[in-house]
Structure formats: C-alpha cells, structure tokens
Structure 1
Amino acid sequence: MKLQCLRYFGALLGVTLLLGGCAGKTVYEPVKVDAAIRNVEKLDKGIRSVVREGAVLNRTSVVTKKSGVIADILPPGFHFINEDDDNIIVGDDSGGVQIISKTTKKPVFSKKFAQPVVSATRRGDLLALVLADNTIVLYDIRADSERYRESLGKVIAIDARAANPVFVNDLIVFPTLDGRLLIMDSNKKIVLRDVALSDKELFNNVIFLKVHNNILVAATASKVIVVTPKRIYTYSADVKDILYVGHDIYVFTKGGKIIHLNEKLQKVEEKDFEYANFVAVAEMNGKLYGVERQGYLIEMDRKLGNVTVKKLDDEVEQPSIIAKDVLYIGDKAIDLKVQ
C-alpha cells in the first residue's frame, strides 16, 4: 500500500511539475519571423568542438575566425587553440602543443608541457600560454626555454571559451583561469599589474580579451572590465558573449539581452530578446548577428535597430561558430552574405 501511495505521489508530482513548466514561457519566441534561412550547404563532416577563435571542423581540419576553413592541417588527437597570420596553435589533452604553418601544414614548433594548454598566443619568438592548472608560461621558441612561469592557484571548472593572451607593444596580458589579468613587461619578464575581474569559485576564467587603441576590454561570465591608461571601468552582467567593435562594446547576456556600452561602460542602448540563448555571435559589415538556440538567426544594425529574425532548419543543438561570413552549425554551413 505504501509503494502504491509513493507511485501515486510521484505521478502527481510529475504532472504538477509538467503543468507548472508549461505555465511560463522559458524559451525564446520571436514576435515575428521575417524569413527562413536559405542556401544551406551540407558538409561531409561537422563541427566537433569550439573555442574563442575557431573550431575543429572534423578530425583533420579547422575553421578559424580569421582564415575560414583550413583543410587537413590538424594532427590526430589535437584541437585548435589560436592563430596568427601564418600559423595555427594546436594542443592535445596531455600537454602537447604545436605551432603549424598554414602554408606547409607542417609543425614549426612542438613542445610537451605537464598540463594541457588552455590558451596561447605567439609573437615572434615568444609564446605566451595559460595551462589547465592556472599556470602562466612565457616560452622562448628560438632558445627552447621558459622565460617566465607562475602558478596562480587551482581552479575547479572553467568556461571553454577561454580568452587567449594578448601582446601589446612591450606588454603581454595573460587572462587567467581565476578571473584576473596579469600584465607583464615582455623585456624584463616581470608582472607589472594584477587586475582582478571577479572572484567566483566556478567558471570564473576570462572569456574575452581584446586591446584596441590602448584600451583593453575583458570579461568573465559575470563582469566586463575596461582598462585605459587613466582608469578602470567595470560593468556587472550575466555575460554569455561579447563583441568589441570600433568604440562599441556589445554584451550578450544569458537572459537574452543585448547591451550596447561605450568604452566607459556607460549604457548606450539595450534590446531584450526575452529568454534568448545566444550560442554564437558576430559583427560583419556593420551588422550584428546572434544565433539563438531554438533555431533563429537574429540580425540588427550596430544601434540595435532594424531587427530581422530568420528561421533555421532546426534547433541549434550542435557546436556552432560564425567565421568569415559563414555560420557553421554541426555539419551545415550557411553563407550569411546571401541571406
């Protein structure tokens, strides 16, 4: 009898939760859909994994935000990390890292570290790295030796969209996995400044870092920061993604808002796409694009006006990225220039 009561109570609870879940809208539903996406190309292989600057397209190819598709360049077991004009940086899960020429598709540098490489950037003979145990390393490729190493304390969990280090004149900015920016003098190999963004225990790594005209913009999942030669500005938000275009900063929040900020982090404009879950964002030719998980491509101008919503074939359940005017979703490619 007790078992029957428990079954009845469980069934009643399930119905109650189901009805309660249906009572409130929790997914994005556009007021109007302007058109359907067309010219969808089917790929032989799909996107396997996505990081800040690119993705693994299949086991041997990558798609990057600067170069688009680079075929047959990825060694077995490696994933994409970053790129420069001539090379890509790749790593594996056991600490291996390689710099591979885009032209010859052969390694020009190879090294094994004790921990996997989360992010990395090269300039000349210097390779700046952030390892999975929150250690920063400055490596001299020509001398084949470390110039600097500092362990910053363990982290429990990180966001996969980890930002890469940035070289600015004689400085290197390391985005750490515990929500800090370490600014180093690349000549003296000393840390000049330690800037804390936020101090949450989980998923607190720096997910965005860009420098333009001596203005540094960075973000974690909970805070945006602007560092200028004169002062620091901060802005708190549930950050899903961020764009920094010209003098404009666009914060895509986890609740579906797009917040337009200036370089002092003052709000210029805000648009609320209620419950929208943006899985990929980009700026191209003066337009902002947001890919919404329920299967929509949202397009607008940089003032957050002239919004159009286009329907994708299905919900976005596979890895996605916008690179070189093309939206990649799983094994599909959509040319945004002809939409």
Structure 2
Amino acid sequence: MPNNSLKKTITSLLCFLLFALILSSCGSKYYFEPKAEEIKGKVSFSSSLPSPIVSILRDGATLKNGQFITKYSEIPDVYLPQNTQYLNQTEDYYLAGAYQTLLLIDKESNTQTSISFDNTPISASMNGALIAIIFDDNSFVLYDLNQGRVTYKQDSTLAPTNNTLIAAPYFLSDIVIVPTLDGKLVIVDKNNMQMIRNIVVNGDKYFNNVIFLEAIGNRMVAATPKRIISVSPNVISTFNANVKDILFFEDRIFIFTNEGEVILTDQDLNEKKRVKFPFAHFTAANHGRNIVILETQGYLIALDDELQSSAIFALPDAITSPTFSGMRQIFIGNRILKVE
C-alpha cells in the first residue's frame, strides 16, 4: 500500500510539472537577439517629424497634427481636417478620406474640394479627371470629376477586418486595376466602364486585403498577407508566404515574411535564395545601396541584392510606434531614418 501511495504521489507530481511546463512554454515569447559580435555598429535617426504618425497606408502616412507623408517621403505644408486620413497624390492634387467624404486638395492653390459618398473612402488613386475610390464596405467606384458623377460602381463581399497596408488602385493604359479588401484584383476598362477581368489573389476571409500592387513594364505584382501573384501577358505565377512586406524590381522580387525570412525570387516568383533571421519581427523594408529592414527589437538589418551577405546594426531603441517606409527614408513614430 505505501508503494502504491508513493507511486500515485510521484505520478501526480509529474503530471503537475508537465502541465506547468506546457503552460510556461505557451506563454513564452521569443525575440530576435543577435550576439554582440554579430552587431556591426550603431545607427542613429537623422531627424524628427513635426508630429508622430497615427495611421499608415501603402502609399502614405498621416501625422497627429494633420500633416502627412507621401510615398516619395515628402511632408507638405498642408494640414488635413480632424479625423481625415491621407490617401494618395497626383501631379495636381492630394487625396484624403474622411467620414463618407473624399477630399481633394489642390497643390497650387491649397483649395479643398469635398465629394460626398454613402461610405468612407479608405484608398484612392486619380488619373486625369477619373478617380478610383475604395470604401470601407469593400465597394469601389470610378468617379469622373469633370462630370461630377460616378461612372462605375461595384459592390463586393464585406471584409470587416483587414491589414492596414491597403494598396491603392492602379491606372495602367486603358484599364484600372482595383485591389479589394477580400483579396481580389478587379480590372475595369475605363473607356467603356466595363469589368473585363477578376483575379483572385487569395480567398481567405480575414486580413486578406491586397497590401501590395505595382506594375513594371508588362509585369504586375500583387500580394495579400498570405499570397503573392505575378501577372504577365502569358502566365500568372503564385507564391505562398506569410507576407509582411514586398520590394519589387524589374527582374527580382524580395518577400519579407512574418517568420523573419527574406526570400528572393525572379519576376515569375521562382525562389532563388532564402535567408532567415530567427525570431525576427520585421516592421519596415526599404532599398538604397542595400536592402534595409527594421526589426522591432531595435535593429537594422542590411543585405546585398543577392542575399549573400548581411550586417546587423543597433538602433537607439526598440520600435513600438507605427512605421512607414517611403522613398529612401523610413519614418518611425516621430523619427526619420535615412536609407543611403
């Protein structure tokens, strides 16, 4: 009997320890921690913003004081009304969205034109007098500024949750490519205002908006948080990954994943090279002489274009603020990092 009692006690103790270990491992969180000898030096911020970032899109960021950052890293001396978000720009206008309103700001005169809609614009692009606008209910319209009316409208499935890096519509010759919040590319002929194609990038229900859309030559690349597609006149190629960000050049594509990987592919998404930084959480990617990535624990990772070599540098502190990557500059909260 004593032996049986001892066995039960030991068994109970082992079960308790195993349960505690499982709970402990479930609560553990791993961080990117390069060794001291791997850190090549320190990087300082070059300057500061007039106000911190409060919201970001693929093509810009809005500051707390109403100013904004364009994708070209410009910070115009223009102040948006309260509760208005910068969306995009053209040669003549800045585009911004507020509740059920699209705001056009003339760059030369600074005059503002408000256009009312039934829903709130969250992404927009403009070509000539034609504006492509995506709304928060996942519908979109083409609006002719000269005619003062909607010339095309399409409703889509509601997408109540979406990644904040919302891509903007893309004008390409005679077509408009509209990225939806449920992972599709709707292609509309802007001459006869008819849909000519609907490409599904990914069919997931949640956090599935198109976060990247760009065309170079006859090649178009788009991505949701789960899949990248490359579209040419002859073929559509796909690549599955947990996508944090993308850089697209004429002959190569860099994919940055949520698992701390950098993947180099050709324009057809054939993988060429993959580098992993264990437990790294990327927050922004940019390109100067090298590929530059910011990591949330306070590191800058620089890689060459072939992913053959890398170097790690320490930032002044960890990154906890919204981050926007513009042309040759990365904006973190209210600070600016130049990318050489």
On whether the aligned pair clears a TM of 0.5, the verdict is: yes
Distance 2:87 2:18 in 1: 46
User: Which secondary structure does the structure 1 equivalent of 2:259 belong to?
Assistant: coil
5+ residue gaps, structure 1: 1-11
2:103 to 73, 85, 98: 98
Contact kept, 8 Å, 1:60 with 1:71, in 2: the verdict is no
TM-score by length of 1: 0.89
Distance 1:17 1:49 in 2: 38
Is 1:268 aligned to 2:241, yes or no? no
Give the deviation of 1:25 after TM superposition: 6.5
Provide Cα deviations, 1:132-156, integer angstroms capped at 9, x if missing partner.
Answer: 1111100001100000001112123
Give the deviation of 1:184 after TM superposition: 0.9
Larger Rg: 2
Q: Residue type of the partner of 2:53?
A: I
Give the deviation of 1:280 after TM superposition: 1.1
2:88 to 79, 82, 92: 82
Distance 1:90 1:234 in 2: 33
User: Which secondary structure does the structure 1 equivalent of 2:25 belong to?
Assistant: helix
2:74 to 47, 60, 68: 68
Q: Residue type of the partner of 1:97?
A: L
2:42 to 17, 36, 45: 36
Is 1:58 aligned to 2:64, yes or no? yes
Alignment of 1:1-339 (within 5 A): 16=21, 19-20=24-25, 26-31=30-35, 32-92=38-98, 94-107=99-112, 109-284=113-288, 286-337=289-340
Q: CA 1:79–1:13 in 2, change beyond 3 Å: closer, same or farther?
A: farther
Q: CA 1:60–1:228 in 2, change beyond 3 Å: closer, same or farther?
A: same
Give the deviation of 1:183 after TM superposition: 0.8
Give the deviation of 1:67 after TM superposition: 4.4
5+ residue gaps, structure 2: 1-16
**1:4 match:** none
Distance 1:242 1:39 in 2: 23
Give the deviation of 1:221 after TM superposition: 0.7
Contact kept, 8 Å, 2:142 with 2:151, in 1: the verdict is yes
**Percent of matched pairs sharing the same residue:** 30
Q: Residue type of the partner of 2:167?
A: A
TM-score by length of 2: 0.89
RMSD of aligned residue pairs (Cα, Å): 2.1
Aligned residue-pair number: 323
Provide Cα deviations, 1:242-267, integer angstroms capped at 9, x if missing partner.
Answer: 11122211110110001111111100
Contact kept, 8 Å, 2:65 with 2:79, in 1: the verdict is no
Contact kept, 8 Å, 1:73 with 1:105, in 2: the verdict is no
User: Which secondary structure does the structure 1 equivalent of 2:53 belong to?
Assistant: coil
Q: Residue type of the partner of 2:79?
A: I
Q: CA 1:140–1:30 in 2, change beyond 3 Å: closer, same or farther?
A: same
